[in-house]
Structures are given as structure tokens and as C-alpha cells.
């Protein structure tokens, strides 16, 4: 009996070994399969490679599949319906690497005291349902924002996009005028991207503002199919006023698990990964180093990694202790070792992607840091200081923050600062911030729009909406004065000088520790090209199959 089953068992093992061997034996076979692998036909479960073999060659008619960790379409209940990176809707202006550029508004002007703004709209933009974009449609859209529709991306309201708005009116068939009770010097910044999404008036309810079916925008792509939490199918807008997309269809799949996304990429089911945190820098680099079917492009991001302090801490309230920590933070090593040399060290609060970025250069001086820390500790009669560093769990997983925190813990210990690291779930993290039960936080964020005034105010001004409530507790009269002055200056260059001063004061006062300027990592199969990151997502219209 024993002998009866032994051959069967060995035969099974042998079959598995042979199959495994066949799959792994031929790099060329795999190469071919992977480079050929294009569109995954979800309906049949075939891989892109299978389809490619059937169709013979690839062309713009073939679908490109991209994976993201979340659904690209949030649906009717969301103010934006889908993310900007789907290229379905467009806004009045756009932030291109810190520079505000015309989009659906081709130009704008304001009066001397910045209380009256006029935006001149494109005359050749049509929604994909055939409705022309004009002043009436623009105003209807802004009216929609008064209904308090929420979003998972960012908030959308008239108060946020048009602070102190007195009235808005048509100033021609293709011009809209906004009048404010208070001057606003940076409206074009505030309205950029998620600040002013425009949809066809036929696709949303006038009473509630809710988009009834699919969102209809003026963008280079339109939604033709969406299965919640599974995928969205985009089709090229053949009547787009600008450069049309090179590929006819994109399917953006939702694959929440990071490892599965990478497997899908390796298996040829998807051609690229999109969205923040789609793959870690390490993961992308490792994959590209070990498999030449994949290419990694990195584009600058508006996100920066910082240590923010709770200045209520008796030691951190002292500028010298903050400076000591700043001096002991070896940004070069962090960027080289922990981020594989992909990131740039940061010294200025505003990222390099802000047009108002000031190129400041700091130094790493551990000895001076030790001396400064000792001074503070001696004055307080302490031989060491215990501090808690909190990190949001999502930040820790999307960026390499955990390793950075561990490294800093070791370095700060040499200054007599014993840091305990706590990685917390998002809601608990916020609660801890609101309660002020932390001493510092390692975090990654970017400015919400290209206008830094609101960000400086939010984080560093007295009464700032994050400074107090999130217990950064940073107070500096000079900052308060400059932050109050900046919005009153209409001239961008002059305002830029104020921002320079603010950044310098923040740097000299070590109000926070900018560590490195993040990048967007875009990894893709070499079967497609021009897969480049944008401020929001990857540039779908430029992507094409590799010749």
C-alpha cells in the first residue's frame, strides 16, 4: 500500500518542479511575455501578454492598465467624483511645479487692491456631453460648491476657494468677475486644480450639487465604465481642445495591497503603478535593479518630510534645543543611505516645487549640537530629556519614515535627548496631536495649493488653524507680522520677498526641521513610455506604447 502512493506523490512533486523550471528557465521567454504583456482583459481573465499574442502588435487602440491603491473614482457622493489624475475634469488654473498656469481660464486680471478679479475663459472647451464651457457654466459650478459636498481628497467650498466673496457675475460670454470684501492677492493659486473643478451642468443635481451618474468634464479622457472598488475605464476625448491622449483607453485598477500591486506589475497584468505611495522608493529601486523590464522615473513632489515640534515641551520651547536637533540631523546621510540617494536634503520650509522656494543651506554639526543641547539641559538641571515622537502609520508605510525615525533616535540620544517612537493609526495620531501628548512628530506634507500664505499661517502664525489645535505651539512675533503682511501685497515679486523672509526666520529659529524633499516614484513596464509623474498622478495623455 505504501509503495502504491509513493510514485504518485513523487510524480506530483516532479510535475510541480518541471512547471516551475519551465516558467523560470527562460529569461527570454519571460522577457517576451512581459514586454508583450499589455492590456489585461479583465472580462476573460487573460493576461495582457495573451492578448498581445493574439493581436500581433500593439497600437494606440489597445488599453493600458494601471494600478493604484485606491479607486480612482470615489463616485457620486464625492465633490470631485474622481481624482484629477484621471484627466476627466479640469479646473480654472493649474499648478505646474509651483507655477500657476492657465487651464480652463486662459488669463486673469485684478484691480489694484485685489478686491475684484476677472477670469477670461477658454472659448474652445467643450464637456464630453457636448455642452460648451462658458461663464454661465462656470458660475453654475461655483454655485454647486455651496451645497457642502464632502470629499475624500480635499474640501471644496466657496469659502475656501473664494474667501470673503461679495459677489460673482458674468463679465461676458467667456469671462467671470469676482468681487471680494477683503483683498485676495493669490486667487489664481487658490483656484488651481482641486480649487476649482468644472463639470457639465447636466451631470449634477442643481439642488444638492451631487453628480448623478458619471462625472462629465472637459478633460482629455472620459469615464465609460466604473465598477466600484475594482476599476474605472477611461476613453480618450476625441474632441479635446488640446493635445489628445495617445492611448485610446486606460483602465485604472484598484489594488489596495502593496505587494499584490507589485506582483500584478511583474505578472504583466498592469503596466504601471500610480498615486502616492503606490510603491516605496526602495521597492521601486529594487525591482528596477533586479528586472530590466521595468523603469523608474522620479519627478519632484510638493511633499516634504519634516519634524514638527510641540513647543510646549520645556526643552523644545528653547530655540537652542531645536537648533541642536536641527544641527544633529544629518540630511545628506538620510538622503544617501535611507533614500538611496534619490532625495534632496531640505532646509527651507517650502519645497523646491514652490515658485517661492528659497534656497537655504544648513549644516550638520554634531559637536555644536551637543554643546547647545548641554547648555539647555544644564540650565534646566537635567542630564537628559525624554521625548515622544509620533508618526502616522500611513506616513510610515508610504515613506521610509520609520527608518529615519530610528536613525534620528540614535543621533539625538548623543545629545541627551531620549526619543521614544510611536507609530499610530491616523485617528489616534490626530487625537494625540489635538491633546498635545507628544513632543515631536515626523511627518510628510505639502502645501495644499501653490499659495504659501495660508500654509505659513496655518502652521506658524498665532491662531493658525494647525499651530494651536495640533499643538505645535510655535509663536514668533516676526512671523505673525510677515504672515499678516503678505496677503496685502498684490505684487508677486514683492510678496515673494516676504516669503523669503518668513522662510529665513523659520530656518534661523529652527521652527521645524525640514529633512528632505520627497519625489514621486513612477514605476512602469518598459512596454509603455512617457510615464511621467505630475503634481497629481501620472500624465495619462502623454503615455504611449513603446515603439
CB-CB contact of 344 with 534 (8 Å): no
Residue 305 CB, shortest distance to other proteins, in Å, is 14
259 binds other proteins (CB under 8 A): yes
23 binds other proteins (CB under 8 A): yes
- What's 542's DSSP letter? G
Question: Distance between CA atoms of 362 and 443, rounded to whole angstroms?
Answer: 20
In DSSP notation, 30-44 reads HHHHHHH----BTTT
Tell me how crowded residue 10 is: count the other CB atoms within 10 A of its CB.
10
In DSSP notation, 407-460 reads HHHHHHHTTTEEEEEEEE-HHHHHHHHHHT--SEEEEEEE-SSS-HHHHHHHHH
Residue 490 CB, shortest distance to other proteins, in Å, is 24
**Which range, of 42-50, 55-63, 178-186, 315-323, touches other proteins by CB under 8 A?**
42-50
229 binds other proteins (CB under 8 A): yes
3 or 361: CB nearest other proteins: 3
Question: Distance between CA atoms of 239 and 246, rounded to whole angstroms?
Answer: 13
Tell me the helices (H) and strands (E) count for the chain, helix number first.
Answer: 17, 21
Which of 38, 49, 145, 417 touches other proteins (CB under 8 A)? Answer: 49
Cell of residue 29, nine digits: 521567454
* Angle of helix 452-460 versus helix 492-508 axis, rounded to 10: 30
Half-sphere exposure of 516 (CA within 13 A, CB side): 25
93 or 443: CB nearest other proteins: 443
47 binds other proteins (CB under 8 A): yes
30 or 504: CB nearest other proteins: 30
Residue 541 CB, shortest distance to other proteins, in Å, is 25
Question: Distance between CA atoms of 309 and 45, rounded to whole angstroms?
Answer: 51
Which of 82, 264, 274, 419 touches other proteins (CB under 8 A)? Answer: 264
Residue 157 CB, shortest distance to other proteins, in Å, is 8
Interface of this chain with other proteins, residues 427 to 486, rule: CB under 8 A: 427-431, 445-446, 448, 458, 464-466, 469
Residue 460 CB, shortest distance to other proteins, in Å, is 13
x/- mask, other proteins, residues 412-431, rule CB under 8 A, reads: -------------xxxxxxx
Cell of residue 33, nine digits: 511575455
Question: Distance between CA atoms of 517 and 351, rounded to whole angstroms?
Answer: 6
Cell of residue 314, nine digits: 520645556
Question: Distance between CA atoms of 218 and 203, rounded to whole angstroms?
Answer: 12
Residue 70 CB, shortest distance to other proteins, in Å, is 9
75 binds other proteins (CB under 8 A): yes
x/- mask, other proteins, residues 148-167, rule CB under 8 A, reads: xxxxxxxx---x--------
Half-sphere exposure of 496 (CA within 13 A, CB side): 12
DSSP run (H or E) holding 55? helix 48-55
- The 3-state DSSP composition of the chain as helix, strand, coil percent (nearest 5) reads 35, 25, 40
- What's 65's DSSP letter? E
Residue 126 CB, shortest distance to other proteins, in Å, is 28
Which of 1, 477, 491, 493 touches other proteins (CB under 8 A)? Answer: 1
254 binds other proteins (CB under 8 A): yes
348 binds other proteins (CB under 8 A): no
53 binds other proteins (CB under 8 A): no
Which of 15, 20, 202, 413 touches other proteins (CB under 8 A)? Answer: 20
**Which range, of 69-77, 161-169, 239-247, 473-481, touches other proteins by CB under 8 A?**
69-77
Which of 36, 40, 161, 351 touches other proteins (CB under 8 A)? Answer: 40
Identify the three-state secondary structure at position 506: helix
Which of 33, 104, 252, 281 touches other proteins (CB under 8 A)? Answer: 33
Identify the three-state secondary structure at position 215: coil
Question: Distance between CA atoms of 228 and 400, rounded to whole angstroms?
Answer: 31
Residue 483 CB, shortest distance to other proteins, in Å, is 14
Q: How many residues bind other proteins (CB under 8 A)?
A: 66
Question: Distance between CA atoms of 365 and 416, rounded to whole angstroms?
Answer: 16
253 binds other proteins (CB under 8 A): yes
Interface of this chain with other proteins, residues 200 to 219, rule: CB under 8 A: 210
CB-CB contact of 436 with 471 (8 Å): yes
45 binds other proteins (CB under 8 A): yes
155 or 340: CB nearest other proteins: 155
241 binds other proteins (CB under 8 A): no
5 binds other proteins (CB under 8 A): yes
388 binds other proteins (CB under 8 A): no
CB-CB contact of 512 with 326 (8 Å): no
End-to-end alpha carbon distance in the chain: 61
Residue 143 CB, shortest distance to other proteins, in Å, is 18
CB-CB contact of 111 with 239 (8 Å): no
Residues in touch with other proteins (CB under 8 A): 1-2, 5-6, 9, 19-20, 23-24, 33, 40, 42-45, 47, 49, 74-78, 148-155, 159, 210, 227-231, 253-257, 259-260, 263-264, 266-269, 392, 425-431, 445-446, 448, 458, 464-466, 469
Amino acid at each position: 500500500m505504501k509503495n502504491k502512493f509513493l510514485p504518485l506523490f513523487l510524480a506530483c512533486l516532479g510535475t510541480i518542479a518541471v512547471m516551475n523550471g519551465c516558467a523560470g528557465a527562460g529569461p527570454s521567454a519571460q522577457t517576451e511575455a512581459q514586454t508583450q504583456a499589455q492590456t489585461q482583459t479583465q472580462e476573460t481573465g487573460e493576461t495582457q501578454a495573451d492578448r498581445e499574442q493574439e493581436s500581433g502588435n500593439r497600437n494606440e487602440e489597445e488599453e493600458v492598465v494601471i494600478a493604484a491603491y485606491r479607486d480612482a473614482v470615489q463616485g457620486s457622493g464625492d465633490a470631485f467624483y474622481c481624482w484629477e489624475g484621471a484627466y476627466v475634469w479640469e479646473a480654472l488654473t493649474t499648478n505646474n511645479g509651483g507655477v500657476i498656469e492657465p487651464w480652463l481660464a486662459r488669463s486673469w486680471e485684478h484691480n489694484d487692491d485685489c478686491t475684484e478679479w476677472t477670469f477670461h475663459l477658454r472659448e474652445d472647451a467643450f464637456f464630453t456631453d457636448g455642452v460648451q464651457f462658458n461663464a454661465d457654466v462656470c458660475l453654475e459650478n461655483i454655485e454647486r460648491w455651496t451645497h457642502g459636498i464632502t470629499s475624500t481628497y480635499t474640501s471644496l467650498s466657496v469659502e475656501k476657494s473664494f474667501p470673503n466673496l461679495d459677489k460673482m457675475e458674468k463679465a461676458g460670454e467667456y469671462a467671470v468677475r469676482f468681487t471680494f470684501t477683503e483683498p485676495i492677492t493669490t486667487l489664481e493659486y487658490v483656484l488651481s486644480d482641486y480649487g476649482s473643478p468644472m463639470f457639465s451642468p447636466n451631470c449634477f443635481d442643481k439642488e444638492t450639487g451631487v453628480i448623478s451618474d458619471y462625472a462629465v468634464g472637459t478633460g482629455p479622457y472620459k469615464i465609460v465604465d466604473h465598477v466600484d472598488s475594482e476599476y474605472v475605464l477611461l476613453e480618450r476625448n476625441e474632441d479635446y481642445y488640446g493635445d489628445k491622449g495617445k492611448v485610446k483607453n486606460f483602465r485604472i485598477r484598484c489594488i489596495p495591497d502593496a505587494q499584490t500591486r507589485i506582483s500584478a506589475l511583474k505578472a504583466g497584468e498592469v503596466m504601471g503603478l500610480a498615486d502616492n505611495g503606490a510603491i516605496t522608493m526602495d521597492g521601486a529601486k529594487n525591482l528596477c535593479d533586479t528586472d530590466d523590464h521595468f523603469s523608474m522615473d522620479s519627478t519632484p513632489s510638493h511633499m516634504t518630510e519634516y519634524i514638527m515640534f510641540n513647543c510646549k515641551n520645556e526643552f523644545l520651547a528653547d530655540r537652542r534645543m531645536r537648533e541642536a536637533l536641527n544641527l544633529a540631523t544629518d540630511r545628506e546621510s538620510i538622503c544617501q543611505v535611507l533614500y538611496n540617494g534619490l532625495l534632496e536634503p531640505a532646509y527651507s520650509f517650502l519645497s523646491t516645487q514652490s515658485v517661492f522656494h528659497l534656497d537655504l543651506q544648513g549644516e550638520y554639526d554634531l559637536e555644536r549640537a551637543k554643546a547647545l543641547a548641554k547648555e539647555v539641559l544644564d540650565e534646566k538641571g537635567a542630564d537628559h530629556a525624554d521625548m515622544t515622537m509620533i508618526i502616522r502609520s500611513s506616513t510610515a508605510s508610504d515613506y521610509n519614515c520609520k527608518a529615519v525615525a530610528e536613525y534620528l533616535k540614535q543621533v539625538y540620544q548623543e545629545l541627551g535627548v531620549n526619543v521614544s517612537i510611536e507609530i499610530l493609526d491616523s485617528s489616534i495620531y490626530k487625537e494625540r496631536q489635538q491633546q498635545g501628548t507628544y513632543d515631536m512628530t515626523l511627518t510628510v506634507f505639502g502645501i495644499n495649493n501653490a499659495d504659501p500664505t495660508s500654509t505659513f499661517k496655518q502652521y506658524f502664525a498665532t491662531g493658525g488653524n494647525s499651530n494651536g489645535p495640533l499643538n505645535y505651539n510655535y509663536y514668533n512675533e516676526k512671523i505673525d507680522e510677515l504672515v499678516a503682511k503678505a496677503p496685502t501685497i498684490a505684487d508677486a515679486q514683492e510678496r515673494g520677498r516676504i516669503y523669503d523672509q518668513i522662510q529665513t526666520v523659520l530656518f534661523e529659529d529652527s521652527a521645524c526641521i525640514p529633512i528632505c524633499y520627497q519625489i514621486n516614484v513612477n514605476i512602469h513596464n518598459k512596454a509603455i513610455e512617457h510615464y511621467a509623474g505630475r503634481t497629481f498622478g501620472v500624465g495619462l495623455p502623454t503615455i504611449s506604447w513603446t515603439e
